[in-house]
Amino acid sequence: MKLDFYYHNPTKIYFGKTALEHLPAELANYGDTVLLVYGKGSVKKSGLYDEITAVLQKAGKTVVELSGIKSNPTYTQMLEGARLVREHQVHLILAVGGGSVIDCAKGISLSAYCKGDPWERYWVNFEDVDNEIVPVGAVLTMAGTGSEMNGGSVITNEEKMLKNGRVYPPEVYPKFSILNPEYTYTVPKYQMVSGIFDTMSHLMEQYFSGTDDNTTDYLIEGVMRSLIHSARIALKNPEDYEARSNIMWCAAIGLNTVTGLAKEQDWEVHMIEHQLGAYTDCAHGAGLAAISIPYYKYISPYGLDKFVRFANNVWEIPTDTMTKEDAANAGIEKLTAFIEELGLPQTLRELGATEAMLPLIANSTVQGGGYKHMTADDILNVLKACY
Ligand code: NZQ
Ligand code: ZN
């Protein structure tokens, strides 16, 4: 562990079939008024909305609602939530949903009392949060983003055509998250596999960087293997509790910062996807799947040893008799086959992108990288390769 790090994860996790039983005790820690934030209707269909509102009622809470949070939550919706928090003097924001709902809740929590324009201050200029942060609690219904156990809040500013994300400090993390894998049984298959690939991508983006011997890399390899194994089971039987619970926990660990400790990290695939999402509104994990193969083919020559290790340790490919290039490519081919198994798209066209969008996406993507620094031209090359 050559790089210094600071680690503090304050989110309490209640995991399993009985996790919701802990909600009343958590609610008792906060004042009377709760802003209940949820998506476009899945929680009503599943019955979870009724369960949670009953708990809130029993706890004597006054409930204000913000519903209809879109996948890829918008700045407009976030500002509406911030307004509700101020108007009703909300004490706790309870997010019930996937990453979009939780991200939106975190955005509301830190924007409600922001002095100035929160977008410019926090999502563009990355200023320190210097105002009151309203506590957030989460009930997770879909696995993938890791938002339930981190400080991430990715918001789409429709007017500016920007999808910006930021990892906020521990004060912004959910205070508690309720993770019952059974809630994910009703997630449509396309969203389930998008979430699985989102987690895989988080793990890869933390893995493919650096040349040191870091415990974190061994941890990531183990989580990737568990995720791939359980994904295959869940594809066959979406109601396999053990597989869905493994996937849920892989997602949380995959971005709760443990799998990034002392790592340089390369988030360029996410940076490109966020702008792809701003233009097409595609499902986040599906966008990542389409970009990943051409991206990793593009950068693997600059980090060959790590790609050989990926082939060996994650995909169990015996590479002794291969050249490093062939071994690296063999690992990437296994990843391609996994994307096919999941049934995720491999072209941007399938996600609604047009050729005219490609330079716009390339030019508006935050430049970065790991083994290779990616310029706008490099990003355009990657986009053309998966168009
Ligand atoms: O809106 P509802 O009706 O709830 O339906 C949702 C939505 O249509 C549905 N769904 C969720 N749980 C369900 C369910 N349907 C049936 N049964 C259930 N139990 O699934 C759809 C997708 O939900 P969404 O929350 O949008 O998906 P996800 O969890 O993938 O979140 C995506 C957002 O998170 C951001 C992404 O960019 C994207 O905006 N990310 C957040 C991160 C973070 N906070 O750290 C990191 C990620 O890399 C990512 O960028
Ligand atoms: Zn992601």
Whose C-alpha lies nearest to ligand 1, atom 15? 187
Q: What atom in ligand 1 is closest to the CA of residue 46?
A: 17
- Residues having CB within 6 Å of any atom of ligand 1: 39-43, 46, 71-72, 97-101, 103, 141-142, 144-147, 150, 152, 154, 165, 183-184, 186-187, 191, 194-195, 198, 255, 270, 284
- Expressed in angstroms and rounded, the spacing between residue 270 Cα and the centre of ligand 2 is 6
Ligand sitting nearest the alpha carbon of 199:
2
- Expressed in angstroms and rounded, the spacing between residue 180 Cα and the centre of ligand 1 is 16
- Expressed in angstroms and rounded, the spacing between residue 373 Cα and the centre of ligand 1 is 30
**Mean pLDDT of all residues in 265-271:** 97
pTM attached to this predicted model:
0.98
Whose C-alpha lies nearest to ligand 1, atom 39? 72
ipTM of this predicted structure:
0.99
131-183 pLDDT, tens per residue? 999 999 999 999 999 999 999 999 999 999 999 998 999 999 999 999 999 99
With a CB cutoff of 8 Å and minimum separation 6, the contacts of 109 are 85, 93, 133, 134, 135, 136, 172
Q: How far is CA 257 from CA 108, 178, 203, in A?
A: 22, 19, 10
> Whole-number mean pLDDT of the chain?
97
Helix axes 268-280, 357-364, angle to 10 degrees: 130
Q: Which domains does the chain have, with CATH numbers?
A: 12-183 (3.40.50.1970), 189-386 (1.20.1090.10)
Query: Quick count: other Cβ atoms within 10 Å of Cβ 25?
Result: 11
236-245 pLDDT, tens per residue? 999 999 999 9
- Expressed in angstroms and rounded, the spacing between residue 175 Cα and the centre of ligand 1 is 19
60-113 pLDDT, tens per residue? 999 999 999 999 999 999 999 999 999 999 999 999 999 999 999 999 999 999
Instruction: Give all strands (DSSP E) within the chain, no chain letters.
Output: 12-15, 33-38, 62-66, 92-97, 136-140, 152-157, 162-167, 176-179
Residue burial 232-261, b: 16+ Cβ < 10 Å; e: rest: eebbeebebeebbbbbbbbbbbbbbbbbbb
Q: How far is CA 107 from CA 110, 114, 197, 231, in A?
A: 6, 11, 24, 30
273-328 pLDDT, tens per residue? 999 999 999 999 999 999 999 999 999 999 999 999 999 999 999 999 999 999 99
**Mean pLDDT of all residues in 197-211:** 96
With a CB cutoff of 8 Å and minimum separation 6, the contacts of 175 are 10, 11, 12, 26, 29, 135, 136, 137
342-366 pLDDT, tens per residue? 999 999 999 999 999 999 999 999 9
Q: What are phi and psi of 133, to 5 degrees?
A: -110, 120
**pLDDT at position 16, please?**
98
**Pair of tokens at residue 103:** 């991200």
Q: What atom in ligand 1 is closest to the CA of residue 167?
A: 45
**pLDDT at position 211, please?**
87
**pLDDT at position 212, please?**
86
**Pair of tokens at residue 343:** 């049934």
Whose C-alpha lies nearest to ligand 1, atom 13? 187
Q: What atom in ligand 1 is closest to the CA of residue 142?
A: 12
Under 8 Å between Cβ of 273 and 362: no
Helix axes 324-342, 215-236, angle to 10 degrees: 40
Ligand sitting nearest the alpha carbon of 183:
1
**Mean pLDDT of all residues in 40-50:** 97
- Expressed in angstroms and rounded, the spacing between residue 40 Cα and the centre of ligand 1 is 11
Sign of the alpha-carbon dihedral angle for 96, 99, 102, 107: negative
